[in-house]
Amino acid sequence: MTYKDLVLSENNTYFLYQNKNIFDRFFINALKFHDEGLAAVQDEMGWFHINLEGKDLYKNRYKRTFGYYFGASTVIDFNDNAFHLDIKGTKIYAQNYAWCGNFQQKICVVKNFENQYFHIDLKGNKIYPENYLYAGDFYDNYACVMLKENKLFKHIDLNGKDLNGHLFQDLGVFHKGFATAKDAKGWFHIDKKGNEIYKERYLQIEPFYNGCALVTTFENEKKIINDF
């Protein structure tokens, strides 16, 4: 039996295997199992994790626990400190944060108690010296960050380096080579050099899927554009 064989009940209170409550155990709330074979669950004392045998991974309880990504899970203690646990339930690093994301590409965005965002590695080390007004997850080797000095967005690479020197009013992650971006005239798509791939601007846009993207014009009309 693997974690993929276990199905979370519709009311998120127990786990099913072959349509039966496999652990004969109910929870106040539960999240699905992740790759490490661990699931976040809640009982009367708080949130914690269980293994594929339905047993508690550790004795501690938290205000919230979340799924495991790359062997690390975000938890929030009852003092509203956020940090990551390893697959044994041990705190990975000494630092506490106001908020933690999930690890993506072995890198995680966190927010300190001064409301500044940055990224850390799996050991809890900052991967660059800067702090940002906002930072997003890494996707396809790049992340979006918002600068404190002007509230503009840019892309950074896995080392925290500026990707292309371009700044935007808003920005999305790269998907199949293109990212959504916004300037004073509206939304459009850019390549990895930060260059627009067409002149038009739109009220809303979506990423390209198989060469096509849904956009909304300033007349509030929907249409499909392509990247070729």
pLDDT tens per residue across span 171-205? 999 999 999 999 999 999 999 999 999 999 999 99
What is the model's pLDDT at position 1? 79
What is the model's pLDDT at position 214? 98
**Confidence class for position 52, pLDDT limits 50, 70, 90:** very high
Average pLDDT for 50-58:
97
Gyration radius from the chain CA atoms = 21
Write down the pTM of the prediction: 0.93
Question: What CATH code would you report for 139-228?
Answer: 2.40.128.630
Q: Looking at domain 1-127, which of 2.30.29.30, 2.130.10.10, 3.40.30.10, 3.30.43.10 is its CATH number?
A: 2.130.10.10
7-23 per-residue burial string, b: 16 or more CB within 10 A, e: under 16 = eeeeeebbbeeeeeebb
Distance, in Å, from the CA atom of 60 to the CA atom of 83, rounded to the nearest integer, reads 14
CA dihedral 70, 71, 76, 77 (to 10 degrees): -160
Average pLDDT for 46-53:
97
Domain boundaries, the chain: 1-127, 139-228
Q: Do domains 1-127 and 139-228 have the same CATH topology?
A: no
